[in-house]
């Protein structure tokens, strides 16, 4: 019963308490809704509890209130204006508002034991000292005091709970705080705004969380961090994530990152840090996401580097001194770089082992990330001379051992890679066009860059030049030494010869300018294997280049000798090195086939730099077409020319013409050479402004020797001939001739110790030997002249003028063997030319001229006039000879023999038949000589005849009358009436013998009319032709 009553009382008490609580809650709720409720009466116990928990410090609060924090947090006890002072009374912390949660058990026991504190809106400071230790403080009076606040709070959280006070605290949090982070090791400051910070007690230690906006001079980054501390092993674990932090503002935070200045690439950092005693960082794992940005680090990259995105995953083991990149991927536009690697830290340096994989990397970008430890000049040379193109694939590795000093050359084995590339453009010798569209593979190490170019081209759109390149190789060597680096380029190039030569117009080669080569005048195609070795210097000279070219030229063509002669169908083998050029093969020059050899010395001394040799054999028709004039002898000529000069500017040379296979005849010299008879011409020449001077020529054969000099224009028209000696047969001559008007005007002098006039005389009237258009004026002087009939002239002096290949003027004097003189002259007058001849010994002169060899003595004069008013005008003249003898005349002797005039015949066979005079009138027209009433008168016989010589004077038709006892016949004819009757009134005597001669001049057919021997003139006048029988009739 008592128990039931107790239960009733307890139930009633509880109901009353509940009602009071409800009423109280309702009253308090209405009051809280109106604003916070001050609980100032609780201030003393709270201050005493704080003092007990913080020995050596004094704590005061302005108020203690109860406030409604919303349905999520409900009722909230808050301390207003918390102030903490040290033993000296210096305020070391001031908190504007602190929310307090009390331990329920403590409240029931009548104790105020806070188990959770929430600090709202404070200004906090986090310090990393130079020794690596940490300090935490609250900003008071504008300055932060780090007097072990963090240690005190952590100590409270780590202390075993006692009866009361703050040692019952389980959690301390900060909301909407401003946190200043200072790192004295790096001299850097950050601010975290709107920070939320919480420190809570765990079973093994404490846990810390932090979130907020990390504010630096480079921007705002989102920060989330978590920390756990295990007091059992004194180890701290931190999880940190910073979104879009700029490395230049976060450099070397963990001692491993040396210098991130200039790397303006936003990064999202996810880091897990494990630290041991005294917060020594032992292990870090990281996941970095790189965003679009730019890195400007001359010590790392040759040029500023733009990044599109990236991702790096790795870990740092500081105890092992090793950074491991499990994976890294960087994107530069469409290009990517990926790989993995390790960096080991050691007392003597760092060891790098990094794999590198590039895909679709523009070479310009690769040049920016070219390893900075390569000699800066080599990187600069690549950046300047290699542009465009894409590295389709590059797989390599970078290994660097400890002990390396930055700036020194890389040790052997540091770097190696192989790659595929496309569209590469290489600038080798500016301003030479670049090698473009390069495709191939390559490998490179710290010492050598070795690129193999399968195909490429060298093109200059400005002039249409294009050269194909294949199987090329570029080797840059000695990159790991401090001395000058060197490069070697090998390639197979092909293209038009004009394009290949056009390359040499650029500096430093400038071959075309040096050798006066115009690429536009060159034809044909060429191909060559090229090897070039050169130093990597900024200004490359040709003397610095080690060159080796071996090629072939097909269908080469150009023009030489003032563009008047063509070289065609040239097929040449070519060798070029740094000192000289050699080309040999077959070419055609003006249609003539030669084996050619061209040698060029690039380093010239006092002599010429170029040498060209041509060897070949051509027929005379081919030579005639090539030279532009007729070579006057059939057969073939062997040609050997050795020429020297500078480039294609031939300056001088020597040569030999093999004339053994030719047939040569010079009628004017009575000399001929049959095919197979040895003959050659050696000569030397120089090229002058007017053309070519043959400074020396020497012609030798079994019967002819000639030496002298000559000059020709570029079209091989003669300019001068100086003949020092010409020996052939009886001739020993010299001459000095000058040519004008393209070689058709000839002037000078000719002479010698001996000349054979016989062939000259024989061809004097042969018009077929003359070439129209020649004008000649010569002074003549010969010591001796051989003529027909064993007659020798001497002291022959004269002047010869020929106009349009016709004899215009001649004046010739000389002596016959008996010292008799003769004079021949030709004087031009208006529309006619007058020729005269006089001699004191007609017999010798006639015999010397080959006209008649049976005369002796006598005085002769000849006068002839040629009509020059018309083409091929007729010549009319008269010959008179007095007081001469005919000692030998086969024709006359035959006539006398046929006429049986033995007395006269005996006289001829004795001392000869004397004639007092001979008179012959003649006309010469178109190679035919006509004469009528030619009279020869002597005491023993008289002769009257008429007729013609024709067929170039090789045939004759003559009729005439021989009058025996001419003196008696003349006396009878003189008797009046009787003489007229007996002689029929003519000039013949009473007695006469008619004859006729026809056929070859050398052996004519002769007939005599014996019936006319005793027929007086009147009878012959009745039965015969008064003026003579027809030449076609028998006498």
* CA 467 to mean position of chain CA atoms: 10
Q: Are 670 and 756 in contact (CB under 8 A)?
A: yes
pLDDT score of 1031? 35
Whether 2 has a pLDDT exceeding 50, the answer reads no
Q: DSSP secondary structure string, 394-441?
A: EEEEEEE-TTPPTTSPPPTTSEEEEEEEEEEEE--STTSPPEEEEEEE
Asked whether 448 and 416 are in contact (CB, 8 A), the reply is no
For 911, residues 6+ apart whose C-beta sits below 8 A from its C-beta are 885, 887
Distances (CA, A) of 822 to 337, 562, 841, 843: 111, 51, 8, 12
C-alpha to C-alpha distance for 343 and 822, rounded to whole angstroms: 120
Coil, strand, or helix at residue 357? strand
Which pLDDT belongs to residue 340?
A: 94
Give the pLDDT mean for 994-1007: 86
pLDDT in tens, 759-778: 766 655 455 555 556 788 99
Average pLDDT over residues 851-874: 83
Is it true that the peptide bond before 431 is cis, omega within 30 degrees of 0?
yes
For residue 861, is pLDDT > 90? yes
pLDDT band at 288 (very low <50, low <70, confident <90, very high): confident
Query: What are the pLDDT digits (tens) for 582-615?
Result: 889 988 887 888 998 888 777 666 677 788 899 9
Is 422 a member of any domain? Answer: no
Q: How many CB atoms lie within 10 A of CB 3?
A: 7
Reading the block at residue 121, the tokens are 């809106």
Backbone angles phi, psi at 537, to 5 degrees: -120, 160
Q: What is the pLDDT of residue 978?
A: 46
Helix (H, G, I), strand (E, B) or coil at 620: helix
d(CA 891, CA 982): 28
pLDDT, residue 8, reads 47
Mean pLDDT of 201-207: 82
Q: Are strands 219-230 and 134-140 parallel, antiparallel or unpaired?
A: unpaired
What is the model's pLDDT at position 1016?
Answer: 54
pLDDT at site 982:
47
> What's the whole-model pTM score?
0.58
How much is the average pLDDT of 456-476? Answer: 86
Residue 1033 has pLDDT above 50, yes or no: no
Reading the block at residue 987, the tokens are 């000039």
For residues 510 and 505, give the distance between their C-alpha atoms in angstroms, rounded to a whole number: 4
Q: Percent of the chain having pLDDT more than 70?
A: 71
pLDDT tens for 694-735 read: 999 999 988 889 999 999 887 778 899 999 999 988 889 999
DSSP for residue 271? E
Q: What is the mean pLDDT of residues 50-62?
A: 72
Q: Is residue 700 in some structural domain?
A: no
What number is the average pLDDT over the span 539-556?
79
Q: Answer with the one of 156, 184, 201 that is the final residue of a domain.
A: 201
Residue 315: band (very low, low, confident or very high) from pLDDT cuts 50, 70, 90: very high
Residue listed under structure tokens 């840090």: 273
Task: Convert the pLDDT of each residue in 217-262 to its tens digit.
Answer: 556 777 788 888 888 888 888 888 888 776 665 554 433 344 555 6
Q: Is the pLDDT of residue 194 over 60?
A: yes
- Over residues 535-546, mean pLDDT: 71
Among 139, 141, 140, 219, residue whose Cα is nearest residue 181: 139
Q: How confident is the model at residue 290 (pLDDT cuts 50, 70, 90)?
A: confident
The domain tally of the chain equals 2
Half-sphere exposure of 665 (CA within 13 A, CB side): 5
- Position 639 scores a pLDDT of 94
Q: Which of 201, 229, 251 is the endpoint of a domain?
A: 201
Average pLDDT in the 546-574 region?
Answer: 80
Q: Is residue 80 part of a domain?
A: yes
Judged by DSSP in three states, 760 sits in helix
Between vectors from CA 988 to CA 984 and to CA 989, what angle results, nearest 5°? 90
Strand partners, 860: 839, 881
Where in 604-761 does DSSP place strands (E)? 610-619, 636-646, 649-658, 664-666, 671-673, 679-688, 691-701, 704-713, 718-728, 731-740, 745-756
In a domain, 52, yes or no: yes
Greater confidence (979 vs 209) lies with 209
Q: When comparing pLDDT for 538 and 196, which is higher?
A: 196
Does position 4 have pLDDT exceeding 60, yes or no? no
In the block, residue with structure tokens 């003026």: 1027
pLDDT at 913: 83
Q: Which of 929, 948, 943, 850 is nearest to 895 (CA)?
A: 943
Residue 379 in domain? no
Average pLDDT over residues 105-113: 61
What range defines the domain where residue 65 resides?
25-201
Task: Please name the residues in contact with 555: beta carbons below 8 A apart, sequence gap of 6 or more.
Answer: 523, 524, 525, 569, 570, 571
Task: Examine residue 68 and state whether it is found in any structural domain, yes or no.
Answer: yes
Q: What is the pLDDT of residues 434-452, one digit of tens each?
A: 888 888 888 877 778 888 8
Mean pLDDT of 357-370: 78
Decide if 456 contacts 438 (C-beta within 8 A). yes
Mean pLDDT, rounded, of the chain: 76
Question: Could you give the CA distance from residue 611 to residue 643 in angstroms, rounded to a whole number?
Answer: 6
Tell me if 90 is assigned to some domain: yes
Using the 3D structure, point to which of 201, 228, 245 is the last residue of a domain: 201
**Distance (Å, rounded) from C-alpha 988 to C-alpha 982?**
10
What's the CA gap between 451 and 472, in Å, rounded? 8
Note the pLDDT of residue 733.
Answer: 92
Least confident residue range of 563-572, 623-632, 1007-1016? 1007-1016
How many beta carbons lie within 10 A of that of residue 986, not counting itself?
Answer: 17
Q: What confidence score (pLDDT) does residue 131 get?
A: 75
Query: β-strands 636-646, 718-728: how paired?
Result: unpaired
Can you tell me the mean pLDDT for 563-570? 75
Burial of residue 395, with CB atoms counted within 10 A of its CB: 0-12 exposed, 13-18 middle, 19 or more buried: middle
- Point out which residues pair with 878 in neighbouring strands: 863, 921
**Confidence (pLDDT) at 695:** 95
Question: Burial, 756: exposed, middle or buried (Cβ in 10 Å; 0-12, 13-18, 19+)?
Answer: buried
Burial class from Cβ neighbours inside 10 Å (0-12, 13-18, 19+) for residue 501 reads buried
CB 920 within 8 A of CB 1031: no
Q: Are 436 and 425 in contact (CB under 8 A)?
A: yes
pLDDT for res 641: 93
**DSSP character string of 148-192:** SHHHHHHHHHHSPP-SSSGGG--EEEEEEEEEEEEETTTTEEEEE
CA distance 930 to 922: 5
The neighbour count for residue 497, using CB atoms within 10 Å, is 21
Statement: residue 322 has pLDDT above 60: yes
Q: Torsions phi, psi of 336, nearest 5?
A: -130, 150
Q: Average the pLDDT over each of 180-189, 499-508, 563-572, 964-973 and give the range with the smallest value.
A: 964-973
pLDDT digits (tens, 9 = 90+) for 867-887: 877 777 788 999 999 998 888
Residue 970 or residue 421, greater confidence: 421
3-state SS assignment for residue 668: helix
* Residue 631 resides in a domain: no
In sequence order, what are the beta bridge partners of 697? 683, 708
For residue 221, what pLDDT is reported?
A: 72
Query: Which pLDDT value is given to residue 813?
Result: 93
The mean pLDDT value for 112-141 works out to: 72
pLDDT at 759: 73
Strands 775-786 and 745-756 come out as: parallel
Per-residue model confidence as pLDDT tens digits over 5-28: 444 444 444 444 444 444 444 555
pLDDT at 911: 66
| pLDDT for res 53 | 61
- C-alpha to C-alpha distance for 236 and 123, rounded to whole angstroms: 25
Whether pLDDT at 830 is above 60: yes
Backbone angles phi, psi at 132, to 5 degrees: 90, -10
Residue 926 in 3-state DSSP?
coil
Q: Is there a contact between 883 and 858 (Cβ–Cβ < 8 Å)?
A: yes
pLDDT over 60 (residue 789):
yes
């Amino acid at each position: 019963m008592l128990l039931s009553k107790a239960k009733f009382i307890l139930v009633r008490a509880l109901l009353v308490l509940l009602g009071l609580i409800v009423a109280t809650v309702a009253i308090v709720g209405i009051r809280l809704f109106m604003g916070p409720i001050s609980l100032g009466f609780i201030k003393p116990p709270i201050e005493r509890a704080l003092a007990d928990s913080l020995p050596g410090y004094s704590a005061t609060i302005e108020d203690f209130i109860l406030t409604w924090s919303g349905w999520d947090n409900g009722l909230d006890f808050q301390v207003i204006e918390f102030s903490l002072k040290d033993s000296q009374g210096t305020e070391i912390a001031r908190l504007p508002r602190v929310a307090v949660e009390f331990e329920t058990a403590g409240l029931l026991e009548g104790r105020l034991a806070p188990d959770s504190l929430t600090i709202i809106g404070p200004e906090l400071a986090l310090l990393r000292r130079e020794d690596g230790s940490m300090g935490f403080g609250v900003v008071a009076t504008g300055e932060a005091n780090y007097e072990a606040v963090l240690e005190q709070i952590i100590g409270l959280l780590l202390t075993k709970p006692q009866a009361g006070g703050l040692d019952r605290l389980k959690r301390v949090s900060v909301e909407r705080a401003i946190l200043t982070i200072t790192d004295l090791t790096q001299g850097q400051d950050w601010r975290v705004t709107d920070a939320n910070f919480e420190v809570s007690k765990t079973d093994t230690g404490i846990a810390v969380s932090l979130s907020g906006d990390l504010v630096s001079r480079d921007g705002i980054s989102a920060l989330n961090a978590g920390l756990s501390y295990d007091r059992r092993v004194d180890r701290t674990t931190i999880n940190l994530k910073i979104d879009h932090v700029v490395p230049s503002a976060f450099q070397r935070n963990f001692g491993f990152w040396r210098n991130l200045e200039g790397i303006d690439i936003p990064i999202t950092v996810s880091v897990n840090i494990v630290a041991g005693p005294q917060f020594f960082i032992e292990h870090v794992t990281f996941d970095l996401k790189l965003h679009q940005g730019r890195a400007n680090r001359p010590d790392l990259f040759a040029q500023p580097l733009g990044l599109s995105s990236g991702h790096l995953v790795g870990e740092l083991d500081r105890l092992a001194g090793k950074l491991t990149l499990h994976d890294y991927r960087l994107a530069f536009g469409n290009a990517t770089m990926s790989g993995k690697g390790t960096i080991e830290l050691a007392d003597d340096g760092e060891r790098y082992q990094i794999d590198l994989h590039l895909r679709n990397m523009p070479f310009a970008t690769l040049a920016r990330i070219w390893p900075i430890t390569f000699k800066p000049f080599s990187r600069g040379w690549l950046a300047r001379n290699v542009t465009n193109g894409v590295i389709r694939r590059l797989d390599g590795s970078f290994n660097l051992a400890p002990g390396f000093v930055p700036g020194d050359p890389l040790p052997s084995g540091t770097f190696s890679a192989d790659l595929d590339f496309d569209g590469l453009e290489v600038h080798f010798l500016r301003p030479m066009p670049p090698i473009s569209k390069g495709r191939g593979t390559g490998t490179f190490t710290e010492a050598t860059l070795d690129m193999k170019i399968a195909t490429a081209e060298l093109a200059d759109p400005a002039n249409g030049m294009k050269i194909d390149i294949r199987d090329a190789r570029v080797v840059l060597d000695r990159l790991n030494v401090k001395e000058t680096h060197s490069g070697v380029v090998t390639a197979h190039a092909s293209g038009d010869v004009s394009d290949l030569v056009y390359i040499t117009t650029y500096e430093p080669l400038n071959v075309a300018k040096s050798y006066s080569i115009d690429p536009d005048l060159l034809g044909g195609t060429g191909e060559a294997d090229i090897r070039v070795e050169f130093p990597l210097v900024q200004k490359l000279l040709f003397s610095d280049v080690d060159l080796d070219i071996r090629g072939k030229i097909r269908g080469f063509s150009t023009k030489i000798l003032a563009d008047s002669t063509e070289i065609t169908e040239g097929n040449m083998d070519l060798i070029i090195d740094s000192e000289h050029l050699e080309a040999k093969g077959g070419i055609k020059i003006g249609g003539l086939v030669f084996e050619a050899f061209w040698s060029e010395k690039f380093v010239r001394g006092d002599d010429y730099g170029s040498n060209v040799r041509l060897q070949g054999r051509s027929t005379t028709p081919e030579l005639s077409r090539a030279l532009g004039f007729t070579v006057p002898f059939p057969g073939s000529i062997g040609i050997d020319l050795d020429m020297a000069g500078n480039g294609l500017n031939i300056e001088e040379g020597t040569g030999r013409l093999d004339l053994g296979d030719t047939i040569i005849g010079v009628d004017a010299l009575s000399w001929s050479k049959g095919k197979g008879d040895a003959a050659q011409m050696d000569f030397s020449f120089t090229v002058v402004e007017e053309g070519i001077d043959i400074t020396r020529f020497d012609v030798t054969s079994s019967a002819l020797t000639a030496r002298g000099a000559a000059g020709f224009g570029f079209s091989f028209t003669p300019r001068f001939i100086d003949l020092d000696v010409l020996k052939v047969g009886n001739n020993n001559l010299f001459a000095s001739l000058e040519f004008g008007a393209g070689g058709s005007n000839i002037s000078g002098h000719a002479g010698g110790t001996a000349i054979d006039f016989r062939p000259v005389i024989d061809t004097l009237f042969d018009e077929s030997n003359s070439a129209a258009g020649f004008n000649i004026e010569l002074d003549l002087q010969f010591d001796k002249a051989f003529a027909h009939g064993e007659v020798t002239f001497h002291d022959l002096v004269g002047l010869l003028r020929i106009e349009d290949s016709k004899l215009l003027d001649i004046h010739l004097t000389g002596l016959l063997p008996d010292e008799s003189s003769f004079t021949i002259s030709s004087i031009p007058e208006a529309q006619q030319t007058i020729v005269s001849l006089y001699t004191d010994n007609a017999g010798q002169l006639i015999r010397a001229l080959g006209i008649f060899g049976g005369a002796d003595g006598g005085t002769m004069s000849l006068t002839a006039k040629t009509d020059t008013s018309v083409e091929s005008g007729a010549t009319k003249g008269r010959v008179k000879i007095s007081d001469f003898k005919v000692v030998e005349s086969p024709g006359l002797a035959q006539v006398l023999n046929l006429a049986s005039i033995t007395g006269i015949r005996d006289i001829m066979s004795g001392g000869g038949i004397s004639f007092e005079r001979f008179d012959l009138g003649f006309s010469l027209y178109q190679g035919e000589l006509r004469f009528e009433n030619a009279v020869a008168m002597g005491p023993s016989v008289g002769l009257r005849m008429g007729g013609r010589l024709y067929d170039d004077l090789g045939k004759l038709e003559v009729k005439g009358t021989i009058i025996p006892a001419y003196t008696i016949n003349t006396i009878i004819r003189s008797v009046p009436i009787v003489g007229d009757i007996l002689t029929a009134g003519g000039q013949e005597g009473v007695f006469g013998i008619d004859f006729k001669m026809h056929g070859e001049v050398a052996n004519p057919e002769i007939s005599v009319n014996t019936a006319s021997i005793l027929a007086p003139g009147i009878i012959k006048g009745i039965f015969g032709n008064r003026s003579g029988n027809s030449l076609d009739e028998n006498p």
